[in-house]
Amino acid sequence: MDGLCLEGFNKDAKEMSGFEVQQSGLGRRERREYPPSLALMDSSDPRAWLAPVQPGTCAPHADYLLHSPGSSVEGVSPPAGHLSNFRKNSKSPVKVRELCRLKGSLTTDDGRQRAPSSETTNVVQKKRRSAANARERRRMHGLNHAFDELRSVIPAFDNEKKLSKYDTLQMAQIYINALSDLLESPGAKVDSPNRSLSATVYEGDNTPRGSPTTRVFPTQLTGMPFPYEDASFASFMEQNMQSPTGTLKSESENSKDTPRSNRSDGEFSPHSHFSDSDETHLELQSEDELSELKLPPCILTR
DNA sequence: TAGGCCATCTGGTCCT
DNA sequence: AGGACCAGATGGCCTA
């Protein structure tokens, strides 16, 4: 019995770490695998762009998932130092053995059905709940891991402070827009479809003047190339990130702008019944508003 | 101390 | 039936 359950458990852990299936909604219903070189070109469905996580990409995380509370093998703690948000005071860690007992609780040792009493029904319900909690915990850990990976590929500031989830999504959106504009801009060329980006830029401002130079600058923190002067993307983001949390833009700076919600989830915003993307669209709909944002030309052309 | 952010629990819904 | 996904509730931690 334990063997069976552990097998299921290990399968879950592998799925979460991306070793066998893609960690996405697509992976659940339709499992496709692409060679890494084709991962971004195989389908018009963006979900299909998700390449399988390379084995070893984040061993500590896979390790963490294997040892996370609720899915942990008895007596094993998560790796020290990884995932700082790991709760040391996790309320109700569910042991693998408990999950196994849960599955087997309505069958006798020889596999026959056992008539459930009200007491065993309660116990079973509790254990089902515990199992569901453990699954939910693992799911959220997977989601957080995805956020960590996203944080690692977008340019960050020098702040030691980790970007919030909301800020991470906003940064990613801006960064993607900037990169796609670079790709569309005249003279832009792509060295490799997946990894590095190179574009023709001009000295000083963005006005064509003299001979164009092709340069790729590593960003300060992430190693992700960005074809602007070293810190200019970070400063551009810093200037233009409309972070209502103030983590990327100070409160005083925010106060100069139109009043916004001080909540990162957008609640109480004038357009709170719209999705974030709808709100963004509404906020940026006029050219006047766009020009007020001091965006570089590549963004303003959108 | 209030507010922001987060992890976790929980019940509901949908899908396989 | 079981699992994934979602959103609301709750409580802890951290910072201004």
pLDDT tens digits, one per residue of A270-290: 333 333 333 333 333 333 333
pLDDT at A216: 29
**A242-249: average pLDDT:** 43
3-state helix, strand, coil split of chain A in percent (to 5) is 45, 5, 50
Q: Measured in angstroms, what separates residue A44's CA from nucleotide C14's C1'?
A: 43
pLDDT at A109: 39
Place of tokens 């995932």: A83
Does position A129 have pLDDT exceeding 70, yes or no? yes
Amino acid identity of residue A107, one-letter, is T
Question: Which of A87-101, A161-175, A220-234 has the weakest average pLDDT?
Answer: A87-101
CB under 7 Å from any atom of strand C: which residues? A 8, 12, 15, 24-25, 28, 89, 103, 128, 131-132, 135-136, 139
Nearest nucleotide over every DNA/RNA strand to the A251 CA, judged by C1': C16
**A206-221: average pLDDT:** 30
Cβ-contact A187, A212 below 8 angstroms:
yes
CA angle at A70 for the pair A20 and A32, rounded to the nearest 5°:
15
Nearest to A257 by CA among A241, A273, A271, A268: A241
**A121-144: average pLDDT:** 81
Rg value, chain A, Cα: 24
Does the C-beta of A91 come within 7 A of strand B?
A: yes
Does the C-beta of A85 come within 7 A of strand B?
A: yes
Does position A173 have pLDDT exceeding 50, yes or no? yes
Does the C-beta of A69 come within 7 A of strand B?
A: yes
C-alpha atoms less than 13 angstroms from C-alpha of A239 in its C-beta half-sphere: 10
- For nucleotide B8, the protein residue with its alpha carbon nearest to C1' is A137
Does the C-beta of A144 come within 7 A of strand B?
A: yes
Nearest nucleotide over every DNA/RNA strand to the A91 CA, judged by C1': B8
**A169-188: average pLDDT:** 84
Q: Measured in angstroms, what separates residue A83's CA from nucleotide B2's C1'?
A: 27
Does the C-beta of A129 come within 7 A of strand B?
A: yes
Does the C-beta of A90 come within 7 A of strand B?
A: yes
pLDDT at A249: 40
Place A166 in a pLDDT band, splitting at 50, 70 and 90.
Answer: confident
**Three-state SS at A197:** coil
Place of tokens 């040892």: A67
Per residue in A3-46, pLDDT (tens digit) is 323 333 333 333 333 322 233 332 332 333 333 333 333 344 44
Chain B nucleotides near the protein (CB, 7 A): 3-12, 15-16
pLDDT at A162: 80
pLDDT at A106: 38
C-alpha torsion sign, points A275, A277, A278, A282: positive
Nearest nucleotide over every DNA/RNA strand to the A264 CA, judged by C1': B4
pLDDT at A163: 82
CA distance A57 to A60: 9
Tokens of A143: 């989601």
Does position A71 have pLDDT exceeding 70, yes or no? no
Nearest nucleotide over every DNA/RNA strand to the A16 CA, judged by C1': C4
Tokens of A299: 């963004």
**A67-83: average pLDDT:** 35
Does the C-beta of A138 come within 7 A of strand B?
A: no
Please list, in sequence order, all residues whose beta carbon lies within 8 angstroms of the beta carbon of residue A293, skipping any fewer than 6 positions away. A240, A284, A299
CA distance A251 to A244: 8
pLDDT at A88: 32
pLDDT at A69: 39
Cβ-contact A239, A228 below 8 angstroms:
no
Q: Measured in angstroms, what separates residue A250's CA from nucleotide B1's C1'?
A: 21
pLDDT at A167: 83
Cα A44 → chain centroid = 21
* Structural domains present in chain A: 120-182 (4.10.280.10)
Does position A259 have pLDDT exceeding 60, yes or no? no
Count other C-beta atoms under 10 Å from residue A233's C-beta.
23
Q: Measured in angstroms, what separates residue A155's CA from nucleotide C4's C1'?
A: 32
- Pairing between strand A217-218 and A199-201? unpaired
